[in-house]
Amino acid sequence: MKQKLIFLFLLMYSFLSAQYFPFKNENKFDTIEYKRIRDSLIAHPQKNDWQTVTKYSITYDTRDGTNIIMQYNKDDGGLLQITKGAHWILYTYFDNLQLHSKKENISRHYATGVWKEFDENGKLLKEEDMDILYDDRKEDINKNIKLVSIREIAAKLSATFQKNMFDDVNFFDLKAFIEDKTGKWVYRILFTDTTKEDTVLFFDYDAHNGNFIKTESFTIPEGFEWH
């Protein structure tokens, strides 16, 4: 059952993430398409606050709600950021237009997916699956104790509570901590509560056995800052 949930989530995630990409090939920054989109936005501006067009960058929304940020300077190369819901992918490009790096994140800064780095000739230099997590405490770091992956957490959260960490803009953050009583890693998944002002919902998830421990909400104190 667990594997079926993960498979269904990955299938749904693959479909969602493949809905829009401005270039034919992610491995090269397409200056022709960049110029075409830029000229089109100037000629036919969108009626929203998200569109900006400057000398070296453009920002706009697609019809399906995907937010696109593109930057290009022939001396510095290019940048492309695609955001849908809480999930965003950042591509950076060398000045020869070849892909330099690809990084995925959810919410503010939580790494997910397979991160890749290339040289200027397109050779893969580094590849790291950010969803595979290990117990990195000093006493366990050499034991290769694998924790529940982010994709597994997302699949179970979606099936159990109908909350989508990737597609829901109300997904706020995911924080890892060690529970004092059990000594286990716990992932705290946070969503803003759309029904109550200044309120956050959180779901605590046992990173070792894949079970939800508790679900609660709390009011954000005035002046509180997230880190």
Backbone angles phi, psi at 17, to 5 degrees: -70, -20
Q: In terms of domains, do 113 and 186 share one?
A: no
Query: Is there a domain that residue 4 lies in?
Result: no
Indicate the pLDDT class of residue 161, thresholds 50, 70 and 90: confident
Tell me the percentage of the chain whose pLDDT exceeds 70: 82
Q: What is the mean pLDDT of residues 152-161?
A: 87
pLDDT at position 30 is: 96
Query: Is there a domain that residue 179 lies in?
Result: yes
pLDDT at position 193 is: 81
Q: What is the mean pLDDT of residues 156-185?
A: 85
* Closest to 93 (Cα-Cα) out of 26, 21, 24, 20: 26
Q: Which residue has the higher pLDDT, 109 or 102?
A: 102
**Whether the predicted pLDDT of 44 surpasses 60:** yes
Domain count, the chain: 2
Residues 147 and 153: their CA atoms lie apart, in Å, by: 10
Handedness of CA 98, 101, 107, 113 (dihedral sign): positive
Q: What is the mean pLDDT of residues 153-160?
A: 87
pLDDT at position 226 is: 52
Encoded amino acid at 36, one letter: R
Query: Is there a domain that residue 30 lies in?
Result: yes
pLDDT at position 109 is: 73
Q: Which residue has the higher pLDDT, 14 or 188?
A: 188
**Whether the predicted pLDDT of 12 surpasses 50:** no
Q: In terms of domains, do 36 and 112 share one?
A: yes
Q: What is the mean pLDDT of residues 152-178?
A: 85
CA 207 to chain centre: 19
Query: Is there a domain that residue 178 lies in?
Result: yes
Question: Residue 38 belongs to what domain range?
Answer: 14-129
Average pLDDT, the chain: 82
Residues in the chain, overall count = 227
